[in-house]
Amino acid sequence: MKRYLVLADGTVYQGQAFGADCASTGELVFTTGMTGYQEAITDDSYAGQLLVFTNPLLGNYGVSVADNEDIVSNCAGVICRQVARVVDSWRSSETLGDFLTRQQIPGISGIDTRQLTQKLRTSGTMAARLTDELPERSELKQQLVLPASSELLAKTAQKSPYSIPGTGHQVVVVNFGAKQSILRELMKRNCNIIVVPSTYSAEQILNFAPEGVVISNGPGDPTDFPQALPLIRELQQKTVLLGICLGHQLFALANGASTFKMKFGHRGFNHPVTEVATGKTVFTSQNHGYAVDASSIDRNVLLETYVELNDQTVEGLHHRTYPALSVQFHPDASPGPHDAVDIFDDFISMIETQGEEEIAKEK
Protein backbone atom coordinates (compact mmCIF):
# COMPACT_ATOMS: atom_id res chain seq x y z
CA MET A 1 0.00 0.00 0.00
CA LYS A 2 1.22 3.51 -0.80
CA ARG A 3 2.26 5.85 1.96
CA TYR A 4 3.55 9.42 1.76
CA LEU A 5 6.11 11.40 3.70
CA VAL A 6 5.18 15.08 3.47
CA LEU A 7 7.75 17.65 4.60
CA ALA A 8 7.12 21.18 5.85
CA ASP A 9 8.95 22.60 2.82
CA GLY A 10 6.39 20.94 0.53
CA THR A 11 8.55 17.99 -0.56
CA VAL A 12 6.65 14.71 -0.89
CA TYR A 13 8.18 11.23 -0.88
CA GLN A 14 6.12 8.22 -1.94
CA GLY A 15 6.89 4.79 -0.54
CA GLN A 16 5.35 1.60 0.82
CA ALA A 17 3.47 1.42 4.10
CA PHE A 18 4.47 -0.91 6.92
CA GLY A 19 3.80 -0.90 10.62
CA ALA A 20 0.66 0.74 12.02
CA ASP A 21 -2.16 1.87 9.76
CA CYS A 22 -2.31 5.49 10.91
CA ALA A 23 -1.03 8.98 10.15
CA SER A 24 1.56 10.71 12.31
CA THR A 25 3.30 14.08 12.56
CA GLY A 26 6.69 14.73 14.12
CA GLU A 27 10.09 16.35 13.82
CA LEU A 28 11.98 14.63 10.99
CA VAL A 29 15.46 13.57 12.16
CA PHE A 30 18.05 11.04 11.03
CA THR A 31 20.28 8.54 12.83
CA THR A 32 23.54 7.20 11.45
CA GLY A 33 23.63 3.99 13.50
CA MET A 34 24.22 0.84 11.46
CA THR A 35 22.42 -1.43 13.94
CA GLY A 36 20.24 -1.00 17.01
CA TYR A 37 17.02 0.08 15.28
CA GLN A 38 14.90 -1.37 18.09
CA GLU A 39 16.82 0.46 20.81
CA ALA A 40 16.49 3.72 18.87
CA ILE A 41 12.75 3.29 18.27
CA THR A 42 12.15 2.61 21.98
CA ASP A 43 14.47 5.39 23.22
CA ASP A 44 12.26 8.10 24.75
CA SER A 45 14.67 10.79 23.59
CA TYR A 46 13.06 10.15 20.17
CA ALA A 47 9.55 10.81 21.49
CA GLY A 48 7.51 12.73 18.92
CA GLN A 49 10.12 12.36 16.16
CA LEU A 50 9.95 10.73 12.73
CA LEU A 51 13.11 8.68 12.61
CA VAL A 52 15.07 8.31 9.34
CA PHE A 53 17.55 5.42 9.35
CA THR A 54 20.57 5.97 7.09
CA ASN A 55 21.38 2.26 7.18
CA PRO A 56 19.60 0.98 4.04
CA LEU A 57 18.22 -2.27 5.51
CA LEU A 58 16.02 -2.50 8.59
CA GLY A 59 14.42 -5.44 10.38
CA ASN A 60 16.83 -8.22 9.35
CA TYR A 61 17.25 -9.50 12.93
CA GLY A 62 13.68 -8.81 14.04
CA VAL A 63 12.72 -7.57 17.48
CA SER A 64 13.58 -8.97 20.92
CA VAL A 65 11.79 -7.82 24.07
CA ALA A 66 15.10 -7.80 25.94
CA ASP A 67 16.42 -4.99 23.74
CA ASN A 68 13.68 -2.44 24.48
CA GLU A 69 14.80 0.81 26.10
CA ASP A 70 11.19 1.38 27.19
CA ILE A 71 8.15 -0.89 27.16
CA VAL A 72 6.15 1.62 25.14
CA SER A 73 7.71 3.34 22.15
CA ASN A 74 6.92 7.03 21.74
CA CYS A 75 8.64 7.90 18.47
CA ALA A 76 6.27 9.24 15.81
CA GLY A 77 7.31 7.06 12.87
CA VAL A 78 10.03 5.09 11.07
CA ILE A 79 11.47 5.87 7.62
CA CYS A 80 13.84 3.48 5.84
CA ARG A 81 15.09 2.40 2.43
CA GLN A 82 14.16 -1.27 2.73
CA VAL A 83 12.49 -3.59 5.24
CA ALA A 84 13.97 -7.08 5.38
CA ARG A 85 11.72 -9.80 3.97
CA VAL A 86 13.42 -12.49 6.06
CA VAL A 87 14.23 -12.29 9.78
CA ASP A 88 17.27 -14.30 10.84
CA SER A 89 17.96 -14.29 14.59
CA TRP A 90 17.31 -16.85 17.30
CA ARG A 91 16.57 -13.97 19.70
CA SER A 92 13.77 -12.52 17.61
CA SER A 93 10.22 -12.73 18.97
CA GLU A 94 8.48 -10.77 16.18
CA THR A 95 9.15 -8.81 13.01
CA LEU A 96 9.83 -5.09 12.99
CA GLY A 97 6.57 -4.49 11.10
CA ASP A 98 4.53 -6.42 13.66
CA PHE A 99 6.28 -4.59 16.50
CA LEU A 100 5.47 -1.18 14.99
CA THR A 101 1.85 -2.24 14.41
CA ARG A 102 1.53 -3.29 18.05
CA GLN A 103 3.11 -0.02 19.20
CA GLN A 104 0.85 2.04 16.89
CA ILE A 105 3.80 3.51 14.99
CA PRO A 106 3.55 3.97 11.20
CA GLY A 107 6.49 3.23 8.93
CA ILE A 108 7.42 3.89 5.32
CA SER A 109 9.98 2.07 3.17
CA GLY A 110 11.16 2.59 -0.40
CA ILE A 111 12.37 6.11 0.39
CA ASP A 112 15.71 7.42 -0.90
CA THR A 113 17.05 7.93 2.61
CA ARG A 114 20.45 9.07 1.35
CA GLN A 115 18.87 12.00 -0.51
CA LEU A 116 16.51 12.71 2.40
CA THR A 117 19.41 12.80 4.87
CA GLN A 118 21.34 15.18 2.62
CA LYS A 119 18.27 17.45 2.58
CA LEU A 120 18.09 17.45 6.39
CA ARG A 121 21.81 18.16 6.69
CA THR A 122 21.39 21.12 4.32
CA SER A 123 18.04 22.51 5.48
CA GLY A 124 17.97 21.25 9.07
CA THR A 125 15.39 19.12 10.81
CA MET A 126 11.79 20.04 10.10
CA ALA A 127 8.20 19.02 10.73
CA ALA A 128 6.86 16.21 8.54
CA ARG A 129 3.90 13.86 8.32
CA LEU A 130 3.44 10.21 7.44
CA THR A 131 0.07 9.69 5.80
CA ASP A 132 -1.74 7.37 3.39
CA GLU A 133 -3.59 10.29 1.81
CA LEU A 134 -1.96 13.46 0.51
CA PRO A 135 -3.37 16.44 2.40
CA GLU A 136 -4.69 19.54 0.72
CA ARG A 137 -2.16 22.37 0.71
CA SER A 138 -4.52 24.43 2.89
CA GLU A 139 -4.57 21.66 5.51
CA LEU A 140 -0.83 21.00 5.57
CA LYS A 141 0.22 23.79 7.94
CA GLN A 142 -2.34 22.69 10.54
CA GLN A 143 -1.30 19.03 10.25
CA LEU A 144 2.39 19.84 10.73
CA VAL A 145 2.10 21.39 14.20
CA LEU A 146 4.71 19.71 16.42
CA PRO A 147 3.91 18.67 19.99
CA ALA A 148 5.32 20.78 22.83
CA SER A 149 8.04 19.41 25.10
CA SER A 150 5.48 19.13 27.91
CA GLU A 151 3.38 16.82 25.72
CA LEU A 152 6.43 14.70 24.89
CA LEU A 153 7.36 14.43 28.56
CA ALA A 154 3.78 13.51 29.43
CA LYS A 155 4.05 10.53 27.05
CA THR A 156 7.13 9.25 28.82
CA ALA A 157 6.07 10.31 32.32
CA GLN A 158 6.42 7.96 35.26
CA LYS A 159 3.60 8.15 37.80
CA SER A 160 5.26 6.89 40.97
CA PRO A 161 8.72 5.80 42.18
CA TYR A 162 9.96 2.23 41.93
CA SER A 163 13.08 0.51 43.14
CA ILE A 164 15.62 -1.98 41.78
CA PRO A 165 17.26 -3.57 44.83
CA GLY A 166 21.02 -3.74 45.08
CA THR A 167 23.67 -4.20 47.75
CA GLY A 168 25.75 -1.15 46.86
CA HIS A 169 25.32 2.62 46.87
CA GLN A 170 21.90 4.25 47.08
CA VAL A 171 21.28 6.01 43.74
CA VAL A 172 18.17 7.95 42.69
CA VAL A 173 17.45 8.30 38.96
CA VAL A 174 15.27 11.29 38.02
CA ASN A 175 13.35 9.96 35.04
CA PHE A 176 12.82 12.36 32.13
CA GLY A 177 12.75 9.36 29.78
CA ALA A 178 15.55 7.17 31.09
CA LYS A 179 16.91 4.37 28.92
CA GLN A 180 16.88 0.94 30.51
CA SER A 181 20.56 0.63 29.60
CA ILE A 182 21.38 3.40 32.11
CA LEU A 183 19.67 1.39 34.83
CA ARG A 184 21.48 -1.77 33.70
CA GLU A 185 24.88 -0.07 34.05
CA LEU A 186 23.99 1.01 37.59
CA MET A 187 22.80 -2.52 38.35
CA LYS A 188 26.14 -3.92 37.14
CA ARG A 189 27.73 -1.77 39.85
CA ASN A 190 25.35 -3.24 42.46
CA CYS A 191 23.60 0.09 43.11
CA ASN A 192 20.37 0.15 45.06
CA ILE A 193 18.34 2.15 42.53
CA ILE A 194 15.24 4.25 43.09
CA VAL A 195 13.66 5.69 39.93
CA VAL A 196 11.48 8.75 40.53
CA PRO A 197 9.29 10.91 38.27
CA SER A 198 10.80 14.10 36.85
CA THR A 199 8.21 16.07 38.85
CA TYR A 200 9.73 15.09 42.19
CA SER A 201 11.10 17.88 44.38
CA ALA A 202 14.58 17.98 45.91
CA GLU A 203 13.03 17.31 49.32
CA GLN A 204 11.25 14.18 48.05
CA ILE A 205 14.45 12.92 46.45
CA LEU A 206 16.62 13.66 49.48
CA ASN A 207 14.15 11.75 51.66
CA PHE A 208 15.51 8.61 49.98
CA ALA A 209 18.97 9.51 51.40
CA PRO A 210 20.73 9.11 48.06
CA GLU A 211 24.48 8.87 47.85
CA GLY A 212 24.19 9.87 44.20
CA VAL A 213 21.55 11.18 41.79
CA VAL A 214 21.34 10.68 38.02
CA ILE A 215 19.43 13.19 35.87
CA SER A 216 18.40 11.11 32.86
CA ASN A 217 18.03 11.63 29.15
CA GLY A 218 14.68 12.64 27.70
CA PRO A 219 12.91 14.39 24.83
CA GLY A 220 12.42 18.01 23.89
CA ASP A 221 13.97 21.42 24.47
CA PRO A 222 15.79 21.66 27.84
CA THR A 223 14.59 25.25 28.32
CA ASP A 224 11.04 23.91 28.53
CA PHE A 225 11.83 22.34 31.93
CA PRO A 226 12.62 25.34 34.17
CA GLN A 227 11.38 23.45 37.24
CA ALA A 228 14.42 21.15 36.95
CA LEU A 229 16.97 23.93 37.43
CA PRO A 230 16.42 24.77 41.14
CA LEU A 231 16.15 21.01 41.73
CA ILE A 232 19.61 20.45 40.26
CA ARG A 233 21.10 23.45 42.09
CA GLU A 234 19.94 22.04 45.43
CA LEU A 235 20.89 18.43 44.73
CA GLN A 236 24.43 19.21 43.55
CA GLN A 237 25.14 20.83 46.93
CA LYS A 238 23.94 17.81 48.91
CA THR A 239 24.82 14.69 46.92
CA VAL A 240 26.89 13.43 43.99
CA LEU A 241 25.24 14.27 40.66
CA LEU A 242 25.48 12.83 37.13
CA GLY A 243 23.57 14.30 34.17
CA ILE A 244 23.20 12.34 30.92
CA CYS A 245 22.07 13.84 27.57
CA LEU A 246 19.06 16.04 28.50
CA GLY A 247 20.41 15.83 32.06
CA HIS A 248 23.68 17.35 30.83
CA GLN A 249 21.84 20.27 29.24
CA LEU A 250 19.75 20.85 32.35
CA PHE A 251 22.88 20.72 34.52
CA ALA A 252 24.46 23.41 32.33
CA LEU A 253 21.34 25.59 32.46
CA ALA A 254 21.16 25.22 36.25
CA ASN A 255 24.70 26.58 36.49
CA GLY A 256 24.24 29.65 34.32
CA ALA A 257 24.99 28.38 30.82
CA SER A 258 22.61 28.45 27.86
CA THR A 259 21.63 25.96 25.15
CA PHE A 260 20.77 26.20 21.46
CA LYS A 261 18.95 24.10 18.88
CA MET A 262 21.33 22.36 16.50
CA LYS A 263 20.77 22.28 12.76
CA PHE A 264 20.35 18.50 12.58
CA GLY A 265 21.71 17.24 15.88
CA HIS A 266 23.80 14.21 16.79
CA ARG A 267 22.01 10.88 16.43
CA GLY A 268 23.81 7.58 16.08
CA PHE A 269 26.77 5.89 17.70
CA ASN A 270 29.80 6.90 15.67
CA HIS A 271 30.40 10.35 17.20
CA PRO A 272 34.04 10.98 18.22
CA VAL A 273 34.46 12.77 21.54
CA THR A 274 37.76 13.98 22.99
CA GLU A 275 38.53 14.16 26.70
CA VAL A 276 40.04 17.60 27.26
CA ALA A 277 42.39 16.59 30.10
CA THR A 278 44.02 13.63 28.33
CA GLY A 279 43.43 14.20 24.61
CA LYS A 280 41.98 10.67 24.43
CA THR A 281 39.24 10.25 21.81
CA VAL A 282 36.40 7.74 22.14
CA PHE A 283 33.45 6.90 19.90
CA THR A 284 30.09 7.52 21.52
CA SER A 285 26.38 6.89 21.20
CA GLN A 286 24.39 10.13 20.95
CA ASN A 287 20.81 11.29 20.51
CA HIS A 288 20.15 15.00 20.91
CA GLY A 289 19.01 18.04 18.95
CA TYR A 290 20.14 20.68 21.45
CA ALA A 291 23.60 21.54 22.76
CA VAL A 292 25.26 23.66 25.43
CA ASP A 293 26.61 26.99 24.16
CA ALA A 294 30.34 26.91 24.95
CA SER A 295 30.59 30.71 25.03
CA SER A 296 27.94 30.89 27.77
CA ILE A 297 29.80 28.69 30.27
CA ASP A 298 31.17 30.43 33.36
CA ARG A 299 34.61 28.80 33.55
CA ASN A 300 34.86 29.69 37.23
CA VAL A 301 31.85 27.46 37.89
CA LEU A 302 32.04 24.70 35.28
CA LEU A 303 34.98 22.87 33.75
CA GLU A 304 34.56 21.60 30.18
CA THR A 305 35.66 17.95 30.17
CA TYR A 306 34.65 16.55 26.75
CA VAL A 307 34.38 18.07 23.26
CA GLU A 308 32.79 16.65 20.09
CA LEU A 309 35.58 16.27 17.55
CA ASN A 310 33.54 17.10 14.43
CA ASP A 311 31.85 20.35 15.47
CA GLN A 312 33.52 21.20 18.81
CA THR A 313 30.25 21.20 20.76
CA VAL A 314 30.34 20.73 24.53
CA GLU A 315 30.10 17.04 25.46
CA GLY A 316 30.99 17.05 29.15
CA LEU A 317 31.05 19.33 32.21
CA HIS A 318 32.29 19.10 35.79
CA HIS A 319 31.37 21.47 38.60
CA ARG A 320 34.41 23.16 40.13
CA THR A 321 32.93 23.26 43.66
CA TYR A 322 30.49 20.36 43.96
CA PRO A 323 30.81 16.64 43.14
CA ALA A 324 28.70 16.96 39.99
CA LEU A 325 29.39 16.09 36.37
CA SER A 326 27.49 15.62 33.12
CA VAL A 327 27.96 14.15 29.65
CA GLN A 328 26.05 14.86 26.45
CA PHE A 329 26.66 11.37 25.04
CA HIS A 330 25.30 8.04 26.31
CA PRO A 331 28.01 6.20 28.25
CA ASP A 332 25.58 3.27 28.47
CA ALA A 333 25.64 3.02 24.63
CA SER A 334 22.93 0.47 23.71
CA PRO A 335 23.33 0.55 20.83
CA GLY A 336 26.89 1.55 20.18
CA PRO A 337 30.46 1.27 21.43
CA HIS A 338 31.15 1.06 25.15
CA ASP A 339 34.24 3.28 24.95
CA ALA A 340 32.81 5.73 27.50
CA VAL A 341 31.22 3.31 29.96
CA ASP A 342 33.77 4.24 32.62
CA ILE A 343 31.76 7.44 33.20
CA PHE A 344 29.64 5.28 35.51
CA ASP A 345 32.80 4.19 37.33
CA ASP A 346 33.76 7.85 37.74
CA PHE A 347 30.32 8.49 39.23
CA ILE A 348 30.72 5.62 41.71
CA SER A 349 34.24 6.80 42.60
CA MET A 350 32.89 10.27 43.35
CA ILE A 351 30.26 8.73 45.64
CA GLU A 352 32.95 6.77 47.50
CA THR A 353 35.24 9.79 47.77
CA GLN A 354 32.38 11.89 49.09
CA GLY A 355 31.59 9.21 51.65
CA GLU A 356 35.20 9.13 52.83
CA GLU A 357 35.20 12.91 53.19
CA GLU A 358 32.00 12.78 55.26
CA ILE A 359 33.57 10.18 57.57
CA ALA A 360 36.69 12.33 57.94
CA LYS A 361 34.56 15.34 58.90
CA GLU A 362 32.77 13.34 61.58
CA LYS A 363 36.11 12.32 63.10
pLDDT (tens digit per residue) in 307-331: 999 999 999 999 999 999 999 999 9
Q: What is the pLDDT of residue 160?
A: 93
Is 354 known to sit in a ligand binding site? no
Is 68 known to sit in a ligand binding site? no
Rounded mean pLDDT, 40-47:
95
Is 249 known to sit in a ligand binding site? yes
Is 220 known to sit in a ligand binding site? yes
d(CA 193, CA 172): 6
3-state class (DSSP) for residue 156:
helix
Note the pTM of the prediction, 2 decimals: 0.95
Q: For residue 264, count CB atoms less than 10 angstroms from its CB and return exposed for 0-12, middle for 13-18, buried for 19 or more.
A: middle
Is 290 known to sit in a ligand binding site? yes
Domains of the chain: 2-147 (3.50.30.20), 156-362 (3.40.50.880)
pLDDT (tens digit per residue) in 196-241: 999 999 999 999 999 999 999 999 999 999 999 999 999 999 999 9
State the DSSP H helix or E strand holding residue 266, giving kind and residue range, or none if neither: strand 259-275
3-state class (DSSP) for residue 113:
helix
Go through 195-214 and write b for each residue having 16 or more CB atoms within 10 A of its CB, e for each that does not: bbebebebeebbebebbbbb
Is 60 known to sit in a ligand binding site? no
Is 246 known to sit in a ligand binding site? yes
d(CA 40, CA 155): 16
Any idea which of 39-43, 92-96, 132-136, 273-277 has the lowest mean pLDDT? 132-136
Is 326 known to sit in a ligand binding site? no
Rounded mean pLDDT, 264-274:
95
DSSP strand pairing (2-7 vs 314-319): unpaired
Catalytic residues: 245, 330, 332
